[in-house]
Amino acid sequence: MSAQVQQEGSGGSVTGDPVACDFIHGVAPRLTQRAERFQRPGVNGYGAIVLGYGNGQFGYRAVKFASKADVLSWIDSLEDLVGSCVTITDDFECETAHCLLERVTVEGVATARGADPENGDVDTRGSVILSGVVTA
């Protein structure tokens, strides 16, 4: 299995074709229980309310080496997944499921260093940041 992003269907099952990446780096923190502190006017001290599990914000960097047309198509495929739950598999084949993909930020599309397209080398490097929250 390679680094990839794949859409989840209902019930968390993986559906659709995966969007393959050459590299995906990042960590999705585990969900932790949250509490918020509050004060009431005219009352001494503080109160607290337990909100449940959250704080699962993630940021992954995904990279693709290919022709310029393929890199632009790859970015479009990732942007099409915004607003859906996905499973992200990183370089170490660690899967993080139930990731609500909120944003795909293009870091850059540039000529790959040392590329020689005449010898069949890929000529373009695309890099994006995938960000969102783990939902469960």
How do residues 10-20 score in pLDDT, each as one tens digit?
666 666 778 98
- Span 61-90, average pLDDT: 92
Residue 84, classified by CB atoms within 10 Å of its CB into exposed (0-12), middle (13-18) or buried (19+), is middle
Residues in contact with 80: Cβ distance below 8 Å, sequence separation at least 6, in sequence order? none
Indicate the SS3 state at residue 10. helix
- Span 71-93, average pLDDT: 92
Amino acid, single-letter form, for residue 77: S
Q: What is the pTM of this model?
A: 0.78
| CA dist., res. 69 & res. 52, Å (int) | 44
For residue 33, the model assigns a pLDDT of 84
The per-residue pLDDT for range 39-49, each reduced to its tens digit, is 999 999 999 99
Indicate the SS3 state at residue 31. coil
